[in-house]
Amino acid sequence: MKKNSSKNQQPETARPKSSKIGLALIFALVAILVVVMTKTPEAPTPIASKPAVTTAPAHVAEMPVAPEIIDTTPPQDKDVMEIVSHYPKLLPKPMELKQKVLVSKKWNSGADSFGLDKPADGQEGDTIAPASVLCVKDTIYVLDNVHNRVIGYDKEGNVVSTAQLPSGGLAVDLVLNPTDSSLFVIDQYQDKIHIVKGNEVTTLDAVPLRESLVVGARFGYDAATGTLWAQDMENGGEVAVLRDGKIVSPDARNQQMFSGASAVSQGESILLTLKTGEVLNIPFDTRVACVEQTETDANGIVWVMFTLDGDYHMRRVARIDPIQNTANVAALDIWFAFDGIRHMSSREKGLVFFVGAEQEGRVVSYDYAGAAL
């Protein structure tokens, strides 16, 4: 009988049930980790946290937080204030001026009237009228460009002299040569200087003026050096044009100060530079729009005509005495219907103006009558 072989084989060892469960758990954990690692994390929702509250002790009062102060001053104004603050202040006080109309003529109304040439209504163009006024002792000279002449008036407004200039020119300024009482008439457009003595006129040609200087420069004469000088508005300062009657070439012109004083507007101040180099600060409550003209009289008094910001229909004049350290100011209700190089000229007691309205031109004097009470 054949024996059953299965009885003689060793039975297979049975795998415990717990090890099967462990393997299943490991595979499950690995699958979960793979899913978590491959999933894009979402940004956590921010949770508003309450600010920490510090309770002060009962005996200590909490200090209020000071508001932040914002400086709204423009940078350029800060620079101006920084510059102006370095100079000594000369506070202006009101003054009284005594007004007198010396000459009043309707435009183009007769042989001795002032000339006015302006474009027709609706057309563009320059208005030409007297360009300069100059007071020499008791005589007042007016440069009448339209009629190409220089007219002299006495202190009562009577005509005392007339010098006819060459036709075709357009003179811009009138300057006294105190050594012989002659007058320089500067025609910058034609590079000419006319010398007027009485009723006689001689002309210097080919004087380099138009190309070497900004058109509209103001001129003056320095008796100490015999120099006719001009403002160099492009480079600043003043330069010699004639010296002892001889032409100074542009290459030989050096920047220097011939006039007694010069004034510029800086923010709410006028800075006055004296010939000694000293700078005075005359402050105002309103921004100074511009300085129109500066004149130094024979007594060393400096007169400055200027306008304040937003008040362009009213001129103001400052009288500065550098010796007494005083500054006085008055408002003048005057108007210029045209452009001019020299609207005012100093005289013994004050100023002379050439002013204009629509209908007439006037020569008006303003004499200093003391500080206003």
d(CA 106, CA 366): 21
Q: What pLDDT does residue 81 have? A: 60
Minimum mean pLDDT range among 77-86, 223-232, 244-253: 77-86
Assigned domain for 1 exists: no
Buried b (16+ CB within 10 A) or exposed e, 70-106: eeeeeeeeeebeeebeebeebebeebebeeeebbebe
In a domain, 59, yes or no: no
- Could you read off the pLDDT of 237-272 as tens digits, one per residue? 899 999 999 999 999 999 999 999 999 999 999 999
Structure tokens that stand for 151 in this block: 């007219």
Give the chain's domain count: 1
CB 146 within 8 A of CB 169: no
pLDDT tens digits, one per residue of 82-104: 667 788 899 999 999 999 999 99
For range 156-164, the mean pLDDT: 93
Provide the percentage of residues in the chain whose pLDDT is more than 70: 77
For the chain, where are the alpha helices, taking DSSP H only?
17-38, 75-84
Calculate mean pLDDT across residues 108-130.
Answer: 89
The arithmetic mean of pLDDT across residues 134-159, rounded, is 93
Q: What is the pLDDT of residues 23-46, one digit of tens each?
A: 555 555 545 544 445 444 444 444
Q: Is the pLDDT of residue 22 over 60?
A: no
pLDDT for the residue 185: 97
Please state the rounded mean pLDDT for residues 180-192: 95
pLDDT at 336 over 70: yes
Asked whether residue 23 is domain-assigned, the answer is no
What's the whole-number mean pLDDT along residues 316-336? Answer: 94
How far apart are the C-alpha atoms of 2 and 130, rounded to whole Å?
A: 156
Cα 307 from chain centroid (whole Å) = 11
| Residue 283: band (very low, low, confident or very high) from pLDDT cuts 50, 70, 90 | very high
| Residue 10 within a domain | no
CATH number for position 268? 2.120.10.30
- Residue 16: strand, helix, or coil: coil
Question: CB–CB of 105/368 below 8 Å?
Answer: no
- The lowest-confidence range among 22-26, 61-65, 319-323, 345-349 is 61-65
Instruction: Report yes or no: 332 and 366 within 8 Å, Cβ to Cβ.
Output: yes
CA distance 99 to 33: 103
142 neighbors 153 (Cβ within 8 angstroms): yes
pLDDT band at 111 (very low <50, low <70, confident <90, very high): confident
Which residues pair with residue 134 across a beta bridge?
A: 141
Residue 64 resides in a domain: no
Q: Note whether residue 56 is domain-resident.
A: no
Q: What is the mean pLDDT of residues 331-348?
A: 86
On the question of pLDDT at 8 being above 60, the answer is no
The residue ranking higher by pLDDT, 120 or 202, is 202
Instruction: Kindly tell me if the per-residue pLDDT of 293 is higher than 80.
Output: yes
* Pairing label, strands 93-106, 326-332: parallel
How much is the mean pLDDT over the chain? 82
343 pLDDT above the threshold of 70: yes
Indicate whether 11 belongs to any domain.
no
Decide if 62 is inside a domain.
no
User: What residues make up the domain containing 158?
Assistant: 78-371
pLDDT value at residue 311: 84
pLDDT surpasses 70 at 63: no
Beta-bridge mates of residue 232: none
pLDDT at 56 over 60: no
Check residue 322 and give its pLDDT.
95
At residue 17 the predicted structure's pLDDT band, cuts being 50, 70 and 90, is very low
Residues 175 and 221 sit within 8 Å (Cβ to Cβ): yes
Buried b (16+ CB within 10 A) or exposed e, 260-288: bbbbbbbbbbbbbbbeeeeebbbbbeeeb
Query: Which residues, including other chains, have CB under 8 Å from residue 259's CB and lie 6 or more apart?
Result: 220, 229, 238, 275, 294, 296
